[in-house]
Homo-oligomer: A and B are copies of this chain.
């Protein structure tokens, strides 16, 4: 099948005609053409996607930061003195300067600490409950609804062409798993992410795995390719990101033999979503933007390449 042939149903209707869409259609056509020089067997058709800012909205703060605030509120309800202590106080007051000074890793460490002693299954329920009700402060919609329609189409299009699609996120692996199947069609085991130290234990005769409250791996920047090697065991042939935190993953995808494609989403659409890049302290897009051309990374403009956003 040549998905780009005239008369065929457009598999990416939310993508405007342009370079990004052409490159995607051409790449999939080439790697699936059994008679072509660029054919890739299905087992090797691995595509990895960042989550925050690539598959769903991450602005003005990553969804997990709102979840962290929610969690700290619950801890304060149980023990009011929590509200007087830093950095909890800053979190409860949405003090942006303090949040940014903690950085994404610091926030992930704090997040891990606030779940110490919880079983993986308990955490899953708490995350599910949060995502079922919590709303974006500006968009007014559920966080879990703010997934990008063009990317959901792309994930389906890739899977329909024998790709397996993985999420490789700086966010918490269990947090993203709470929505990955329903929202993206990506199975829980196909999610790679930041993760906590875990411990097996028997409680009242029942076996369970408990979170120890300490970060095991912060899955950002150079850790992304290393965690891809650990969890997936294959170098992706296609990778999609939106920040400097994804640059190592994009270069890893491009560094193998045969056909390769790396894409970067640029948030340049203040009207339908948000416009930001270098100045977004929690996850800037600067080096990757400056060097995209030199590295052969294809820029995707939210404003011009996407016909729809949500």
- Contacts from A to B (Cβ < 8 Å): 43, 120-121, 164, 166, 173-174, 177, 181, 187-191, 195, 198-200, 202, 206-209, 216, 222-226, 228-235, 248, 251-252, 254-255
| Selected contact of A208 from candidates B195, B208, B234, B255, CB within 8 Å | B255
This chain's copy number in the assembly: 2
Contacting residues, chain B, for A43 (C-beta < 8 A): 181, 187-188
Q: Are A200 and B252 in contact (CB under 8 A)?
A: yes
5 contacts between A and B (CB under 8 A): A188-B233, A199-B226, A208-B252, A209-B252, A231-B231
Known: A199-B222, A206-B255. A173 touches B248 (CB 8 A): no
Q: How far is the CA of A160 from the CA of B189 in the complex (A)?
A: 19
The smallest beta-carbon distance between A46 and chain B, in angstroms, is 8
Q: Which residue of B lies closest to A222 (CB)?
A: B200
The smallest beta-carbon distance between A15 and chain B, in angstroms, is 27
Q: Are A120 and B209 in contact (CB under 8 A)?
A: no
Q: Are B233 and A207 in contact (CB under 8 A)?
A: no
Q: How far is the CA of A121 from the CA of B258 in the complex (A)?
A: 15
Q: Are A232 and B188 in contact (CB under 8 A)?
A: yes
Q: Are B234 and A202 in contact (CB under 8 A)?
A: no
Q: Are A251 and B120 in contact (CB under 8 A)?
A: no
Known: A191-B233, A229-B198, A231-B189. A207 touches B120 (CB 8 A): no
Q: How far is the CA of A189 from the CA of B206 in the complex (A)?
A: 28
Closest 3 CB pairs of A and B: A207-B255, A188-B233, A198-B226
Q: How far is the CA of A298 from the CA of B261 in the complex (A)?
A: 48
Contacting residues, chain B, for A224 (C-beta < 8 A): 200
Q: Are B174 and A200 in contact (CB under 8 A)?
A: no
Q: Are B200 and A234 in contact (CB under 8 A)?
A: no
Q: How far is the CA of A187 from the CA of B189 in the complex (A)?
A: 12
Contacting residues, chain B, for A190 (C-beta < 8 A): 189
The smallest beta-carbon distance between A205 and chain B, in angstroms, is 9
Q: Are B200 and A230 in contact (CB under 8 A)?
A: no
- Chain B CB count within 10 A is highest, among A173, A190, A198, for A198
Q: Are A207 and B174 in contact (CB under 8 A)?
A: no
